[in-house]
Structure 1
Amino acid sequence: MMRTTTLLPALLLTLFAHTAFAQSTPSQAPPKLEKIEEMADDPITVTAKPAQERQITEKRDNSGQVVEATVKSGPSTYKVKPNHPVGTALPGDAMGSANRGPQWTVMEFDIGKKKKKTTEEDGSTDTAAPPAVK
């Protein structure tokens, strides 16, 4: 008990000091304001960022239903296909999911195309070949 009785006056003193500080009123004098120099009224032109062009290509089957849609939006390309559940599963069942995510085209390589050679890479010149000797 001895320890509590020595801390009690210190706690009460800090509590009263805190409440006295919180209740002090600010001065009635208005704050000092600095005058801001006026700037010239030059017109400001704001241009909107050009919207990304989006190109959508749809593939349909013979009955007219969309089988695949290819979307090119800026530098990215992705394909969206409709969700066809497996067997007799319905959307929301354990075997049939409600959504099918897009397939992003990450890398494309042109393996079948031949690279065009320039005259510097070829090592040849533009002069015609000498005529054949008989």
Structure 2
Amino acid sequence: MTRLSPLWPALLLTLVSHTAFAQSTPSQAPPKLERIEEVADDPITVTAKPAPESKITEKRDNSGNVTEATVKSGPSTYTLKPNRPPGTSLPGDMTSGNNRGPQWTVMEFDLGKKKKKTVDEDSAPDTNTPPPPTAK
């Protein structure tokens, strides 16, 4: 007697179920369709987002060449400067370097102006000042 592998019954069962499924005929009745409620077609207005305003400020030297351009576009600000090769090197030389990238203005602090007091600070007593001297 030869020994049968335990996989043969599983393969036979799969083959038989596959042939039985392939031989079944589809139903002749049309499929059931659901009715979709009709809604009014309101016109939709699409507006373009306004482009952020950009402000370009250029600084020029006495001969009219641009030495610096500051661009303010929305909340970001950056400065562009031309790449001036050092000494007598020409553009494309080893010492001249490549293009110069923009310098982004990250954080600006205005140290020269005095801080404005708000209404809450004016009405609150200052704890750092000494009390007025008592009258005798």
Q: Does the alignment reach a TM-score above 0.5?
A: yes
Deviation, structure 1 residue 73: 0.3
Q: Structure 2 CA distance, aligned partners of 1:85 and 1:34?
A: 75
* CA RMSD after TM alignment: 3.9
Deviation, structure 1 residue 114: 1.3
Q: Structure 2 CA distance, aligned partners of 1:111 and 1:99?
A: 33
Q: Which runs of 5+ in 1 are unaligned?
A: 1-5, 7-12, 125-134
User: Aligned AA for 1:108?
Assistant: E
User: Aligned AA for 1:77?
Assistant: T
Q: How many residues align?
A: 120
Residues 15-62 of structure 1: CA distance to partner in whole angstroms, max 9, x if unpaired?
Answer: x9xxx9xxx9xx6x8876544332211110111111100000000000
- Seen in structure 2, the aligned counterparts of structure 1 residues 31 and 60 have a Cα distance that, compared at 3 Å, is farther
Query: Which secondary structure does the structure 2 equivalent of 1:121 belong to?
Result: helix
1:76-115 to structure 2, matched below 5 A, reads: 76-87=76-87, 88-91=89-92, 93-115=93-115
Residues 66-114 of structure 1: CA distance to partner in whole angstroms, max 9, x if unpaired?
Answer: 00000000000000000111221423x3322231000001111111111
Q: Which runs of 5+ in 2 are unaligned?
A: 6-11, 125-136
User: Aligned AA for 2:91?
Assistant: L
TM-score w.r.t. the length of structure 1 is 0.63
Q: Structure 2 CA distance, aligned partners of 1:96 and 1:56?
A: 27
1:51 and 2:48 equivalent? no
Structure 1 segments of 4+ aligned residues over 6 angstroms from their partners: 29-32
Q: Structure 2 CA distance, aligned partners of 1:120 and 1:109?
A: 24
User: Aligned AA for 2:67?
Assistant: V
Q: Structure 2 CA distance, aligned partners of 1:64 and 1:31?
A: 79
Q: Structure 2 CA distance, aligned partners of 1:56 and 1:73?
A: 9
Sequence identity of aligned pairs in percent?
Answer: 69
- Seen in structure 2, the aligned counterparts of structure 1 residues 32 and 65 have a Cα distance that, compared at 3 Å, is farther
